[in-house]
Structure 1
């Protein structure tokens, strides 16, 4: 069941204009309606575009020689608790529960389930869930979260820090008819662990590289200072501090909402937050700083369909060449013109901070 009634969600979405684009995607078969707001299947064409984007992103960061790690879309509950995610975003978190009872409990569950199924789908009671207990895993809220405890167990970072390439499905409990705001979506991230200078240089480099990718895709973009959607009145203070310290920037593309733009990439500097939580240290014993660039894979794909049309064969030739042609050469040619070109970026991060 969604937290917002379907009629209210539809009215809100109609006000922003998002159902039009969503309906076009569903009618074209690019997204598959599951009956739950923000939860979609993807067609072969949609997935092919995502795969091609992933190839381009790999070329974009290849010179950084990142360690490639892949995790399932769930993480250990104790690591999630340690992350302090619930302090900032309790409304977005997703836990995983399972039946842990005996035969009698099972009979109670089935009776409650039978009672619930008498009602219409949207009106069903959830009494059967009383027999469910929390498991030792939760849904991953961001692709980088499983990385930090793993890095901590390895001991101090090498002198040049570490760069990690990670991709995962993520969950956010915010049902919506805006196709750019899914409950289950993929994040591709490059994560940097090191000293402050290394991480700041990394972020600046990826603001340039992320913008380059979107320009090569011939999409309109704007990079702007941003803040995360921290929860509650106290969250506003944290958000104001995040903006004052310029810790987060987003790359915005017009997507479904005509009144605003959607963040398709984010560039984040966490300072010592995760380093302190998991006791990740640099080679000199100081607390490690961390940062990441996050690519919203569904959102970039949706932006391509929004601005170039639903028929990929009719997309601009240069965009098709980037995605289905010689991707490596196209990306390499674009990187050469950047202020922090690959050769310069490999020399070390401090001089660019």
Structure 2
């Protein structure tokens, strides 16, 4: 799972009915004025321009080349998942404030008339969106699907149905829109956003080696993009009084690291990549077994696609034609060759002094 920790402040603000006024809107205003983001009237819910999407997609290509040697299985899911799988995931135990459920009208003709009457009353009563009655929603009932909170969540039940993992484990490449209920003026905290993840399932040694590898590769990519970065120990924003205990345990066991880049939040840096070791949490929930019968461990690296794209605009400017030459060559040139060259340099620098070529 990939939950980036700077969500905590927005969640706390939302709980008190405050739209995170401490986050300076200046960068958001610049993005909107330039047409890179499109205002929908709802904080944290934006349209994206062609230029924004082009940068994001070229970043996506670079991430593909970064992980190509791992020969991952590529899976793509819609931004919704089965409600029963979501319930089994235990997400609601930790992050009930971030979850998004999907409801639909399931009534009869009488219910429909009641819905329309309530809707007419709501739209006629006030010109303010915030003051509208939501009485019409009494006719809505939960569906069998919920919004996906993290790109990796649909993977685990699918892997469980396949039976025991092969001896080498499995590596999955997944990309999905995700939802977190955290309205904010900070463009780095969107309610709907994309996560690109590589997910590893296998033994503890296999997934720990995977996570360390991706800390290095994620840092390499951000360095090639000429963005400032810091990798730091982190914890997820667990909810409630007991959440601090769980967060402290997560940090004590060094289960989560984040790659941080300054974007728009004046209070600090924003988590743009997340490196997570879940231990056997998901393996135990869905009874995913290794080849030898042991409960599988899992880990993931999550790329916040919008956040990295925002970081590029923040540090290189809103005109992509004026970005540094090497950054443009990486994204709009021979991306595969540039990534491969960076990997070679990284591996050479990692060799001990005196090691053979």
What SS does the corresponding residue of 2:54 show, helix, strand or coil? Answer: helix
Please point out which of 18, 24, 33 is paired with 2:30: 24
- How far does residue 336 in structure 1 lie from its aligned partner after superposition? 1.2
- How far does residue 340 in structure 1 lie from its aligned partner after superposition? 9.2
- How far does residue 338 in structure 1 lie from its aligned partner after superposition? 2.6
What SS does the corresponding residue of 1:334 show, helix, strand or coil? Answer: helix
Is 1:159 matched with 2:167?
yes
What SS does the corresponding residue of 2:241 show, helix, strand or coil? Answer: helix
Match of 2:61 in 1: 55
TM-score of the superposition, structure 2-length normalised? Answer: 0.92
Match of 2:270 in 1: 262
Deviation digits for residues 256-276 of structure 1 (CA, Å, limit 9, x no counterpart): 012200000000000000000
In structure 2, relative to structure 1, the CA distance for the partners of 1:238 and 1:8 (3 Å cut) is closer
Is 1:33 matched with 2:39?
yes
Q: How many residues align?
A: 337
Is 1:105 matched with 2:104?
no
Is 1:204 matched with 2:212?
yes
Match of 1:273 in 2: 281
- Given that 1:335 and 1:341 are in contact with CA atoms closer than 8 Å, whether structure 2 keeps it comes out as no
In the alignment, the residues of structure 1 paired with residue 339 and residue 349 of structure 2 have an alpha-carbon distance, to the nearest angstrom, of 12
- How far does residue 5 in structure 1 lie from its aligned partner after superposition? 11
- How far does residue 299 in structure 1 lie from its aligned partner after superposition? 0.1
- How far does residue 109 in structure 1 lie from its aligned partner after superposition? 0.3
- How far does residue 253 in structure 1 lie from its aligned partner after superposition? 0.1
Match of 1:214 in 2: 222
In structure 2, relative to structure 1, the CA distance for the partners of 1:309 and 1:234 (3 Å cut) is same
Map 1:1-353 → 2, pairs under 5 A: 4=14, 8-9=18-19, 12-13=20-21, 15-17=22-24, 19-118=25-124, 119-120=126-127, 121-339=129-347
- Given that 1:251 and 1:266 are in contact with CA atoms closer than 8 Å, whether structure 2 keeps it comes out as yes
Q: Which runs of 5+ in 1 are unaligned?
A: 343-353
- How far does residue 75 in structure 1 lie from its aligned partner after superposition? 0.1
Q: Which runs of 5+ in 2 are unaligned?
A: 1-10, 351-357
- How far does residue 175 in structure 1 lie from its aligned partner after superposition? 0.2
TM-score of the superposition, structure 1-length normalised? Answer: 0.93
In the alignment, the residues of structure 2 paired with residue 341 and residue 186 of structure 1 have an alpha-carbon distance, to the nearest angstrom, of 32
Instruction: Supply the RMSD in Å over aligned alpha carbons.
Output: 1.7
Deviation digits for residues 54-78 of structure 1 (CA, Å, limit 9, x no counterpart): 0000000000000000000000000
- Given that 2:99 and 2:181 are in contact with CA atoms closer than 8 Å, whether structure 1 keeps it comes out as yes
Match of 2:4 in 1: none
- Given that 1:205 and 1:340 are in contact with CA atoms closer than 8 Å, whether structure 2 keeps it comes out as no
